[in-house]
């Protein structure tokens, strides 16, 4: 072919490629599909199995063996590979030395920040602010992609009703509506505007599905979830992640109703692939395929591989049952070739979508994208909006910056690693600004008296108590920073009792004896049973594990730079015995109400068989939680008035608008999180007492009023009865209020 002809042909090819890429999204996808299929056609079975295998370098048989395996195309993905140089080195081997040059997909747990650490996800959920959460995840993606990480195992969107479960820290709490809004925001933040942007990272919605229902809050324990709860609650945030375009899902460790999640055809195949038409990739959790043997669901690795493959797990994390058994399974005719090909297609598609074939390497230049001042400012903002004010008697808070002296105590006051929380591999304690440092900076060191009182959260040594009380007496106000060390929540870190560990309650009681205003700030990975503390403190602020900038954020709130505005994403219980307690439990036959329950201490000692109310309550706890879902105070006050419905009636395809006026009646500007709940009074199955259907975080200047509207579509009132989604006409209640236990009430019917 002469030069002229080949130039014309090349030109035509370029033009048609341009036409394809510009015409529409579908054509773009087609191009990827074509490339995936062309590559698949060239792959050997070993190379296909390689793509389906993900390994941690620590388990790859040593440095040289790892490089050889990459060169031989034995791994499709690596997790926990550190540093730009290392990533580029391995990627170079994969791209330039392996037969087909398929790039590796480098994954890591970047759960709530990479080096700029944001509050734990449960804390971020308390901001009820999808916008700032999205930006937090965008920043995490910018930071981690600059280090070569193109896949994060986030968002974790397991709904849980159990604060004993250590992994409650990683999720968005108990409510499917709030968790779905945040799930969407997190996926959008991680993946960014364009997947081929160098800062785009593939999201992974996990753990599919049901892991948050681990019995007794014991991690990895069995889960039983009825189909209505599964579909109306647990699956919702996953569906939101799919809708937001999450490229990958992770199958969980748990067995769900008797079938392990990583071999579960009902959830992975029927729901995820068929009903939801998910086209992305499914990765197992760490060794969750081989653990099906420990579950007693498979007798050996070959069977485990077979069950995971049949369920639709495309890539196996860490265990090597695929690598060791797929060939034999094919030869024995127990699995068909198309199952393998589909899995490999799902994996390659992610790599193409992320543009890894075009840009496999990380630019060392990009390393500058860590801990930028703008990122740190955002971390401070998120931590500020995440903190929840639970009590503030006599307007103890905010403290004046002109205060003469404050006494700072507690094991979390100056504990840089603990404030970062769980699931932090890359955030560094030395970058944390602690509350003590921030308060010293704000007030000047001379005004701040400090002793820890207890060295760490579980410390029971009362040696410093006398000194602490003396110091408290010399100061104008007391700030006690307590809670939990980071290691007490997270994976495998569940607790049976969820009170403040160690001698913290005793120390707080001691400090209360000083008679000085006592402010307790809790920094923890879960909603602790803080009833006793609330009884002793004048003010109680819940800061969660607030991340790198937790200190300045808390100082901003304590000294009134801004009012606290977070609200609880989870019900706070009085004690472990109340668990599970979530606000949207079904209507019962014998609901308790004020006056209908008998406190245990009021029961006469000698008692004939008689009624103690015969209602749904505990004799010791009663029937209300310590703090309800959605609860949170502010330094200002908000008055709710004028509830209006656009109509008293709507059709099963219609909608109504419900609105109310919110007035800032206090003495400072503030944000209020306005919540919208409904109750479906009668259903074909029993229905929740309340369900969140909308929320808005609004800034209302002092003295101003805003009208807040919520549109309710008939489909928002639908629910799953079994696997059928139904919209049932009938009577409904609505509330617009500041939390799940209060609000202006209205009603309407659907016909
Ligand atoms: C196990 C955890 O359950 C999962 O959430 C995490 O992503 C993987 N390990 C990888 O570290």
Report pLDDT digits (tens) over 401-422. Answer: 999 999 999 999 999 999 999 9
Residue 385 is given by DSSP the state H
Which of 526, 558, 590 marks a domain boundary? Answer: 558
Ligand 1 centroid – CA 110 distance (Å): 10
Between vectors from CA 38 to CA 349 and to CA 320, what angle results, nearest 5°?
Answer: 55
Show Cβ contacts of residue 392 under 8 Å, excluding neighbours closer than 6 positions: 538, 539, 540, 633, 635
Q: Look at residue 2 in the predicted model and tell me its pLDDT.
A: 38
Question: Distance between CA 39 and CA 62 in Å, rounded?
Answer: 30
Ligand 1 contact, 56 CB (< 6 A): no
- Which residues share a beta bridge with 731? 749
Catalytic residue, chosen from 162, 175, 255, 285, is: 285
Ligand 1 centroid – CA 285 distance (Å): 6
Task: Find the CATH number of the domain harbouring 36.
Answer: 3.20.20.300
Q: Look at residue 602 in the predicted model and tell me its pLDDT.
A: 87
Ligand 1 contact, 491 CB (< 6 A): yes
Cα radius of gyration rounded to whole Å, the chain = 28
What residue's CA is closest to ligand 1, atom 1?
286
* Confidence category of residue 372, pLDDT binned at 50, 70, 90: very high
Q: For residue 170, which atom of ligand 1 is closest to its CA?
A: 5
Show Cβ contacts of residue 394 under 8 Å, excluding neighbours closer than 6 positions: 538
Active site residue 285: yes
Burial of 472 (0-12, 13-18, 19+ CB in 10 A): buried
Sign of CA dihedral 91, 96, 99, 100: positive
Burial of 352 (0-12, 13-18, 19+ CB in 10 A): buried
Ligand 1 centroid – CA 118 distance (Å): 19
Count CA atoms closer than 13 A to 87's CA, side-chain side: 29
Show Cβ contacts of residue 438 under 8 Å, excluding neighbours closer than 6 positions: 551, 552, 554, 555
Tell me: the pLDDT tens digits for 196-247?
A: 999 999 999 999 999 999 999 999 999 999 999 999 999 999 999 999 999 9
Domain count, the chain: 3
Q: For residue 252, which atom of ligand 1 is closest to its CA?
A: 3
Burial of 506 (0-12, 13-18, 19+ CB in 10 A): middle
Ligand 1 contact, 206 CB (< 6 A): yes
Question: Distance between CA 158 and CA 209 in Å, rounded?
Answer: 8
Ligand 1 centroid – CA 603 distance (Å): 49
CA 578 to the chain's CA centroid: 23
Does a structural domain hold residue 16? no
563: left (phi over 0), alpha (psi -120 to 50) or beta: beta
Ligand 1 centroid – CA 188 distance (Å): 21
Does a structural domain hold residue 139? no
How is residue 722 written in tokens? 């079994």
The preferred substitution site among 109, 152, 158 for testing ligand 1, maximizing ligand atoms within 8 Å of CB, is 109
Does a structural domain hold residue 203? no
Burial of 403 (0-12, 13-18, 19+ CB in 10 A): middle
Question: Distance between CA 357 and CA 350 in Å, rounded?
Answer: 11
Tell me: the pLDDT tens digits for 73-92?
A: 999 999 999 889 999 999 99
How is residue 70 written in tokens? 């990459």
Tell me: the pLDDT tens digits for 306-352?
A: 999 999 999 999 999 999 999 999 999 999 999 999 999 999 999 99
Ligand 1 contact, 153 CB (< 6 A): yes
Tell me: the pLDDT tens digits for 92-147?
A: 999 999 999 999 999 999 999 999 999 999 999 999 999 999 999 999 999 999 99
How is residue 289 written in tokens? 């395929």
DSSP SS3 for 380: helix
Residue 384 and residue 425 share a domain: yes
Residue 442 and residue 294 share a domain: no
Q: Contact 521/435 with Cβ under 8 angstroms?
A: yes
Q: Look at residue 25 in the predicted model and tell me its pLDDT.
A: 37
Residue 384 and residue 321 share a domain: no
Residue 317 and residue 403 share a domain: no
How much is the average pLDDT of 647-658?
97
The preferred substitution site among 153, 154, 158 for testing ligand 1, maximizing ligand atoms within 8 Å of CB, is 153
How much is the average pLDDT of 597-619?
86
Question: Distance between CA 171 and CA 193 in Å, rounded?
Answer: 24
Instruction: Say if residue 155 is preceded by a cis peptide, omega within 30 of 0.
Output: yes
Q: Look at residue 268 in the predicted model and tell me its pLDDT.
A: 98
Which of 297, 318, 353 marks a domain boundary? Answer: 353
Question: Distance between CA 119 and CA 547 in Å, rounded?
Answer: 5
Q: Look at residue 608 in the predicted model and tell me its pLDDT.
A: 77
Residue 322 and residue 383 share a domain: no
Buried residues in 420-429 as b, exposed as e (16+ CB within 10 A):
bbbbbebbee
pLDDT at 363 over 80: yes
Q: For residue 253, which atom of ligand 1 is closest to its CA?
A: 3
Give me the residue label for tokens 């979390």: 412
What residue's CA is closest to ligand 1, atom 4?
285
Output the furthest CA–CA distance in the chain (Å, rounded): 109
* Confidence category of residue 506, pLDDT binned at 50, 70, 90: very high
Residue 437 and residue 323 share a domain: no
Q: For residue 156, which atom of ligand 1 is closest to its CA?
A: 5
- Which residues share a beta bridge with 97? none
* Confidence category of residue 388, pLDDT binned at 50, 70, 90: very high
| Average of per-residue pLDDT values in the chain | 95
How much is the average pLDDT of 286-312?
98
Q: Contact 80/147 with Cβ under 8 angstroms?
A: no
Residue 544 and residue 405 share a domain: yes
Range of the domain at 724: 638-750
Ligand 1 centroid – CA 325 distance (Å): 23
Tell me: the pLDDT tens digits for 17-42?
A: 333 333 333 355 569 999 999 999 99
Give me the residue label for tokens 């040696």: 463
Ligand 1 centroid – CA 209 distance (Å): 14
Ligand 1 contact, 219 CB (< 6 A): no
Ligand 1 centroid – CA 127 distance (Å): 25
Task: Find the CATH number of the domain harbouring 681.
Answer: 2.60.40.10
pLDDT at 12 over 90: no
φ, ψ of residue 692 to 5 degrees: the values are -70, 130
What residue's CA is closest to ligand 1, atom 3?
285
Does a structural domain hold residue 425? yes
Which of 293, 321, 353 marks a domain boundary? Answer: 353
- Provide the H-helix boundaries in 284-336: 291-294, 301-311, 321-331
Question: Distance between CA 371 and CA 379 in Å, rounded?
Answer: 10
What residue's CA is closest to ligand 1, atom 7?
153
Does a structural domain hold residue 359? no
Q: Look at residue 18 in the predicted model and tell me its pLDDT.
A: 37
Residue 379 and residue 346 share a domain: no
Question: Distance between CA 714 and CA 652 in Å, rounded?
Answer: 5
Residue 411 and residue 457 share a domain: yes
Show Cβ contacts of residue 314 under 8 Å, excluding neighbours closer than 6 positions: 52, 281, 282, 283, 342, 343, 344, 346, 347
Does a structural domain hold residue 70? yes
Ligand 1 contact, 464 CB (< 6 A): no
Does a structural domain hold residue 484? yes
Closest among 470, 457, 563, 467 to 516, alpha carbons compared: 470
Ligand 1 centroid – CA 286 distance (Å): 6
Ligand 1 contact, 109 CB (< 6 A): yes
Strand order in the sheet with 204-208: 204-208, 248-251, 281-284
Show Cβ contacts of residue 589 under 8 Å, excluding neighbours closer than 6 positions: none
What's the Cα-to-Cα distance from 136 to each of 120, 141, 373, rounded to whole Å?
11, 9, 13
Show Cβ contacts of residue 561 under 8 Å, excluding neighbours closer than 6 positions: 555
Q: Contact 304/293 with Cβ under 8 angstroms?
A: yes
Task: Find the CATH number of the domain harbouring 474.
Answer: 3.40.50.1700
Strand order in the sheet with 406-409: 388-392, 539-542, 518-523, 477-483, 406-409, 448-450
Residue 523 and residue 402 share a domain: yes
φ, ψ of residue 711 to 5 degrees: the values are -100, 130
What's the Cα-to-Cα distance from 80 to each of 111, 213, 317, rounded to whole Å?
13, 28, 12
What residue's CA is closest to ligand 1, atom 11?
109
Q: Contact 263/295 with Cβ under 8 angstroms?
A: no
Does a structural domain hold residue 363? no
How much is the average pLDDT of 447-462?
98
Residue 670 is given by DSSP the state E
Give pairs for 128-133: CB < 8 Å, separation 24+.
128/178, 128/566, 128/567, 128/569, 128/673, 128/695, 128/697, 129/385, 129/697, 130/181, 130/182, 130/184, 130/185, 131/185, 132/378, 132/381, 132/382, 132/385, 133/182, 133/185, 133/186, 133/189, 133/382
Strand boundaries in 318-421, DSSP class E = 388-392, 406-409
The preferred substitution site among 105, 166, 317 for testing ligand 1, maximizing ligand atoms within 8 Å of CB, is 317
The preferred substitution site among 491, 492, 493, 494 for testing ligand 1, maximizing ligand atoms within 8 Å of CB, is 491
How much is the average pLDDT of 531-538?
98
Residue 518 and residue 423 share a domain: yes
Residue 540 and residue 665 share a domain: no
Residue 429 is given by DSSP the state G
Closest among 725, 733, 735 to 684, alpha carbons compared: 725
């Amino acid at each position: 072919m002469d030069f002229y002809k080949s130039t014309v042909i090349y030109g035509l090819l370029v033009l048609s490629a341009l036409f394809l890429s510009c015409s529409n999204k579908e054509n773009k996808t087609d191009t990827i599909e074509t490339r995936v299929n062309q590559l698949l056609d060239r792959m050997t079975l070993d190379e296909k199995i390689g793509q389906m295998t993900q390994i941690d370098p620590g388990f790859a048989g040593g440095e040289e063996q790892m490089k050889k395996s990459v060169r031989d195309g034995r791994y499709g993905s690596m997790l926990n590979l550190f540093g730009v140089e290392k990533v580029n080195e391995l990627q170079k081997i994969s791209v330039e030395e392996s037969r087909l040059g398929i790039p590796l997909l480098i994954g890591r747990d970047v759960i709530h920040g990479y080096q700029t650490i944001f509050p734990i996800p449960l804390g971020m959920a308390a901001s009820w602010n999808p916008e700032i959460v999205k930006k937090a995840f965008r920043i995490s993606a910018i930071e981690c992609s600059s280090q070569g990480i193109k896949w994060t195992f986030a968002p974790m969107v397991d709904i849980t009703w159990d604060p004993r479960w250590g992994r409650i820290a990683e999720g968005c709490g108990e409510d499917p509506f709030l968790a779905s809004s945040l799930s969407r925001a997190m996926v959008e933040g991680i993946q960014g505007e364009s997947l081929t942007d160098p800062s785009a990272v593939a999201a992974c919605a996990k753990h599919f599905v049901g892991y948050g229902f681990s019995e007794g809050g014991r991690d990895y324990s069995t889960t039983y979830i009825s189909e209505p709860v599964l579909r109306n609650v647990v699956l919702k945030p996953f569906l939101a992640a799919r809708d937001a375009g999450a490229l990958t899902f992770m199958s969980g460790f748990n067995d769900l109703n008797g079938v392990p999640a990583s071999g579960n055809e009902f959830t992975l195949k029927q729901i995820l692939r068929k009903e939801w038409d998910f086209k992305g990739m499914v990765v197992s959790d760490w060794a969750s395929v081989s653990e099906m043997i420990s579950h007693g669901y498979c007798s050996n690795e070959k069977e485990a591989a077979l069950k995971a493959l049949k369920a639709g797990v495309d890539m196996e994390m860490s265990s090597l049952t695929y690598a060791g058994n797929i060939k034999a399974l094919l030869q024995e005719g127990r699995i068909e070739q198309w199952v393998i090909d589909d899995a490999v297609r799902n994996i390659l598609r992610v790599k193409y979508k992320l543009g890894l074939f075009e840009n496999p390497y990380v630019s060392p230049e990009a390393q500058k994208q860590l801990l930028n001042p703008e990122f740190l400012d955002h971390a401070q903002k998120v931590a500020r909006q995440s903190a929840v004010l639970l009590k503030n008697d006599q307007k103890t808070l905010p403290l004046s910056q002109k205060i003469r002296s404050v006494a700072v105590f507690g094991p979390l006051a100056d504990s840089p690693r603990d404030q970062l929380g769980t699931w932090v591999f890359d955030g560094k304690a030395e970058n944390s600004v602690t509350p003590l440092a921030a308060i010293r900076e704000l007030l000047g060191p001379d005004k701040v008296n400090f002793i820890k009182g207890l060295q760490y959260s579980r410390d029971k040594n009362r040696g410093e108590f006398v000194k602490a009380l003396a110091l408290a007496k010399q100061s104008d106000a007391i700030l006690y920073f307590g809670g939990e060390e980071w290691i007490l929540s997270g994976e495998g870190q569940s607790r049976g009792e969820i009170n403040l560990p160690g001698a913290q309650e005793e120390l707080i009681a001691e400090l209360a004896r000083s008679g000085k205003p006592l402010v307790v700030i809790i920094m923890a990975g879960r909603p602790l049973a803080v009833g006793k503390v609330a009884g002793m403190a004048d003010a109680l602020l819940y800061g969660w594990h607030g991340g790198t900038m937790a200190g300045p954020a808390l100082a901003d709130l304590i000294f009134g730079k801004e009012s606290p505005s977070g609200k609880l994403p989870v019900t706070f219980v009085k004690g472990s015995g109340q668990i599970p307690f979530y606000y949207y439990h079904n209507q019962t036959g014998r609901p308790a109400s004020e006056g209908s329950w008998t406190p245990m201490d009021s029961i006469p000692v000698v008692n004939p068989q008689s009624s103690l109310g015969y209602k749904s309550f505990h004799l010791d706890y009663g029937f209300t939680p310590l703090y309800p879902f959605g609860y949170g105070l502010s330094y200002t006050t908000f008055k709710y008035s004028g509830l209006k419905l656009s109509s008293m009636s709507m059709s099963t395809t219609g909608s109504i608008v419900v609105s109310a006026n919110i007035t800032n009646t206090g003495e400072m500007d503030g944000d209020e999180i306005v919540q919208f709940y409904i109750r479906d009074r009668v259903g074909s199955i029993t229905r929740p007492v309340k369900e969140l259907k909308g929320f808005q975080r609004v800034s209302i200047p002092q003295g101003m009023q805003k009208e807040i509207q919520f549109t309710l579509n008939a489909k928002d009132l639908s629910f799953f009865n079994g696997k059928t989604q139904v919209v049932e006409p009938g009577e409904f209640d609505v509330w617009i209020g500041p939390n799940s236990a209060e609000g202006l009430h209205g009603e309407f019917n659907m016909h």
